[in-house]
Amino acid sequence: SYDCTVTGVVADFTNSATATGTPPIGADVTSTDTAIVDVVDPSITITKDPATQTILTGTNATFSITVTNTGDVDLSNVAVADPLVPACDNSIGLLVVGGSVTYPCEATAVALGFTNLAIVGAVGPLGALPPSGDTADVIVLEATLAGRVWLDLNGDAAQDVGEPGAGGVSVDLLDGSLVVVGSTVTDGNGDYDFSGLDTDTYTVRVDIATLPAGSVATADPDGTLDDETVQAVVLGDAIAGLNFGYQPPATMTGLVFVDDDGDGVQGPGEVPLAGVTVIVTDGSGVPVPIVTDADGIYSAGVVPGPVTIDVDDPTVPADHALTTANDPQVVVAVAAQVVTAPDVGYQPPTVDISLTKVSSEGNVQAGDQAEWILTIANAGTVDALGPITLTDNLPTGLTHVGSTGTGWTCTAAASVVICEHPGPLPVGSELEVRIVTDVAADLTGTVNNEALVSMPGDVNVLNNSAVAGVGLLPATGFNLADALTWSLFSLLLGGGLILVTRPRDEDHDLLRNN
């Protein structure tokens, strides 16, 4: 036996085969047999109507599906599948030659346009047929609204280069009845959009709770800075540019401290001043009181721009004096930045008495007297209550003659002169003591005299001592005053003797103070 194949068969036919053989004897023998070839052409089609339809957003799209057996054999297991519109699925079963099935189906509440594909499958006498499909386009008439939320750093109501979008901000959409019908969140660029909208008057509203705390509206699509805008739309509208600008707050912070040495700078060991009220007033014009914390720090969110910072004086401890000369002060706050204002320092009540000392004459003659003028001043912030003690240790060659000064009581023991004053010495006031001493006749050159002042509570001892010096002229038996007297006497007598004197280099003032 063997197999044989006829290719390219396109029509039915009956095939006849004859076998012939020659026997050993006799005539040839033959045998014939036939086979009928039945050519079948199974096929099926599906049509989805209408091919294109336009509907309003939110309404239904209705289709009519027709399945036809266009082949020459009956088909079984006929079934329609419609992935986008499951309502169009249908199990038809047997479909005879020339048979057709038509049925309707709907896609409900369609918001967006789409292209729908329906596929039919079937089984013929030779097995499953290739699937057949048809498409139908649905066009949805809708309106869209879109815009952006951005950070208006300079507050000029325009999005400038470098001003970022505000991502993560919630935006709500309300219909004409002010019912929320949609919500979205801005993307990384601050963009938002609402699509699939029907004809209506909508309100777009920014949820300011999702913005940086303290942000201030600077731009609104309708010009009213109320975080929302109203927009009427009809189907087919695509409205963009509903943009909202917000200036993020700045943070203003600063320090109030105890300036013990009064130099206007917080130095080592100078502690913060807690519990002081600082009034912060930004461009809104509303003063906001902030109390310094345990670290002397105040901090407030402010509107960018000039900010006035004013310490509430009654909350500063009594008798503390401002040392930084900056209260009140105006500092410019920058959006989205923390700006630190210059520190504000207060010096606690201080007594600071100082001493200066001079001689009444720059030069004296050995053997004469020298007068020393001592001035005590209060450079502190409160009155020096006293008692004040002045001590002058006279150097060798000086002998105490007398001491005077209003309110002073002076005593001398050996070479030590001590003067006492009961006080008070008001701030900025001075006290004076004059001490007269004899100058030994054998002294030469320069003599320096140092004194010291003291008082309980004095915070600064660096200015409590002073030194003054005088130059010594030789003990010639007469001095400059004598020479001038004799010259005047000679002129009066009409004599020809005129004594001319010239100051020597030593006659210059040798005063030295510390």
**In the beta sheet, which residues pair with residue 233?**
200
Share of the chain above pLDDT 70, in %: 92
**CA 227/CA 203 separation, integer angstroms:** 10
For the four alpha carbons of 252, 257, 263 and 265, in that order, the dihedral sign comes to negative
For the four alpha carbons of 92, 98, 101 and 107, in that order, the dihedral sign comes to positive
Lowest mean pLDDT among 32-41, 57-66, 366-375: 32-41
For the four alpha carbons of 156, 157, 160 and 165, in that order, the dihedral sign comes to positive
- 445-481: pLDDT as tens digits: 999 999 999 999 898 899 999 999 999 998 765 444 5
DSSP letter string, 335-402: TTSEEEPPPEEEEPS-B-EEEEEEESSSEEETTSEEEEEEEEEE-SSS-B-S-EEEEEEPPTTEEEEE
Q: Phi-psi bin for 427: left (phi > 0), alpha (psi -120 to 50), beta? A: beta
Whether the predicted pLDDT of 511 surpasses 90: no
Cα–Cα separations (whole angstroms), residue 124 to 43, 45, 128: 8, 14, 6
CA-wise closest residue to 460 among 385, 392, 386, 378 = 378
353-473, CATH topology level = Immunoglobulin-like (2.60.40)
SS (H, E, C) 451-470: EEEECCCECCCCCCEEEEEE
What does the pLDDT average to over 56-74? Answer: 93
**What does the CA dihedral 314, 318, 320, 321 come to, rounded to 10 degrees?**
60
Contacts of residue 263, Cβ cutoff 8 Å, sequence gap at least 6: 323
- 83-97: pLDDT as tens digits: 999 999 999 999 999
- 314-355: pLDDT as tens digits: 999 998 999 999 999 999 999 888 999 999 999 999 889 999
CA-wise closest residue to 423 among 400, 456, 396 = 456
- 280-320: pLDDT as tens digits: 999 889 999 999 999 999 999 888 999 999 999 999 999 89
Do 65 and 47 touch, CB atoms closer than 8 A? yes
Cα–chain center distance at 421? 58
What does the pLDDT average to over 55-79? Answer: 94
pLDDT number for residue 475:
72
For the four alpha carbons of 148, 154, 157 and 158, in that order, the dihedral sign comes to negative
Q: Amino acid identity, residue 39?
A: V
Q: Phi-psi bin for 98: left (phi > 0), alpha (psi -120 to 50), beta? A: left
pLDDT number for residue 227:
97
Residue whose structure tokens are 């020339």: 98
Contacts of residue 204, Cβ cutoff 8 Å, sequence gap at least 6: 145, 147, 171, 172, 173, 194, 221, 228, 229, 231, 242
Whether the predicted pLDDT of 160 surpasses 80: yes
Whether the predicted pLDDT of 54 surpasses 50: yes
Ranges in the chain annotated CATH 2.60.40.740: 353-473
CATH number of 251-344: 2.60.40.10
- 205-260: pLDDT as tens digits: 999 999 988 899 999 999 999 999 999 999 889 999 999 999 999 999 999 999 98
**CA 303/CA 310 separation, integer angstroms:** 16
pLDDT number for residue 507:
37
For the four alpha carbons of 177, 180, 181 and 183, in that order, the dihedral sign comes to positive
Ranges in the chain annotated CATH 2.60.40.10: 143-247, 251-344
Q: Amino acid identity, residue 156?
A: D
Whether the predicted pLDDT of 487 surpasses 80: no
Q: How many CB atoms lie within 10 A of CB 240?
A: 12
Classify 143-247 by CATH class: mainly beta
pLDDT number for residue 498:
32
